[in-house]
Homo-oligomer: A and B are copies of this chain.
Amino acid sequence: MSTMVSLAVFPLDKGESVSPYVARVVRLIRESGLPHVLGPMGTVIEGGTKEVMDLVLRCFEDLERDCDRVYMVLTADYRKGGEGRIEKKVRSVLDKL
Contacts and interface: CB of A to CB of B under 8 A. Distances in A.
Interface of A: 1, 4-6, 8, 10, 12-13, 15-16, 18-20, 22-23, 26-27, 30, 37-42, 44, 46, 49-50, 53, 56-57, 60-61, 64, 67-81, 85-87, 89-90, 92-94, 96-97
B22 A93 contact: yes
Copies in the complex: 4
Given A53-B56, A69-B77, A69-B78, A96 B16 contact: no
Given A12-B18, A16-B79, A27-B97, A57 B68 contact: no
Q: Is the interface of A mostly helix, strand, loop or mixed?
A: mixed
Given A22-B93, A37-B40, A74-B74, 20 more contacts: A4-B40, A6-B39, A10-B12, A13-B16, A16-B68, A27-B97, A37-B39, A40-B46, A40-B85, A41-B75, A41-B77, A50-B61, A53-B57, A60-B76, A69-B77, A69-B80, A70-B78, A71-B71, A72-B76, A72-B77
